[in-house]
Each structure stands twice: as structure tokens, then as C-alpha cells.
Amino acid sequence: MICTALAGRVAEELMFDGRVTTGASDDIKKVTQLATGLVSVYGMSDKMGLVGYNSAQEESYVKPYSERTAAQLDQEVRKIVNECLQRTRELLNSRKQLIEK
């Protein structure tokens, strides 16, 4: 799902010589929410383990974890998004001729 959401932005980069528009901003928000859920709600991070924190949907201004843990959560979310971005770039680059058609 994350790769699919990133595909529009990656296609813009690929087809417009690295330039992108603001059209993918909602997709970026969704990607961040998905990755955050994987790490902080569903325990799907080897580094963070099987621990669930507040979900992104919960309206809470008090974090039930330290700043260090918050930094680790952020690092894991970025890692997931960056890995999916790289995977999407590789896929679309390998299919560039089909995209151009």
C-alpha cells in the first residue's frame, strides 16, 4: 500500500526530470500514517518490537513514552518509508518504457 501511494510522486520524478508537484501531498500524509501504524500500533518493527503505543487516530497530547523512544519510532517510520520509496523507484525505473507509452 505504501509503494502504491508513493508511485505517483515517483512517476513525476521519473517523467519530469526530478521535478515534482504538490499533488502527492495527501499521499505522503497517508504513507506516513500507514508506516506509523505499522511501527507504533501493530508492533511490526524488529527494532521496536511487539509494543503498541497510541494509534495515530487517538487524540492524545501526552505520549506514553520517552523522547528517546519517540526518536526511535520516527527513525523506524522513516526507514520503512525510505525502503518503500527506493523499491517504488526501482520498479518504475525498470518499467519506464511502459510508463512512457
The domain limits of the chain are: 2-100
pLDDT: is 25 or 60 the higher one? Answer: 25
> What pLDDT score was predicted for residue 41?
86
pLDDT at 57 over 60: no
Please compute, for residue 14, the number of CA atoms within 13 A of its CA located in the half-sphere on the CB side.
21
> What pLDDT score was predicted for residue 75?
95
Please compute, for residue 70, the number of CA atoms within 13 A of its CA located in the half-sphere on the CB side.
7
- Counting residues of the chain whose pLDDT is more than 90, the rounded percentage is 45
The cell numbers describing 92, all together, are 518504475
- Counting residues of the chain whose pLDDT is more than 70, the rounded percentage is 91
> What pLDDT score was predicted for residue 61?
62
Residue 60 pLDDT class (50, 70, 90 cuts): low
Tell me phi and psi for residue 37, to 5 degrees: -65, -40
Q: Domain 2-100 adopts which CATH fold?
A: Methane Monooxygenase Hydroxylase; Chain G, domain 1 (1.20.58)
Q: What is the pLDDT of residues 13-42, one digit of tens each?
A: 888 877 777 777 788 999 999 999 999 888
Q: Do residues 6 and 91 lie in contact, with contact meaning Cβ atoms separated by under 8 Å? A: no
Integer Cα distance of 101 and 84 in angstroms: 25
No. of helices (H) and no. of strands (E), the chain:
4, 0
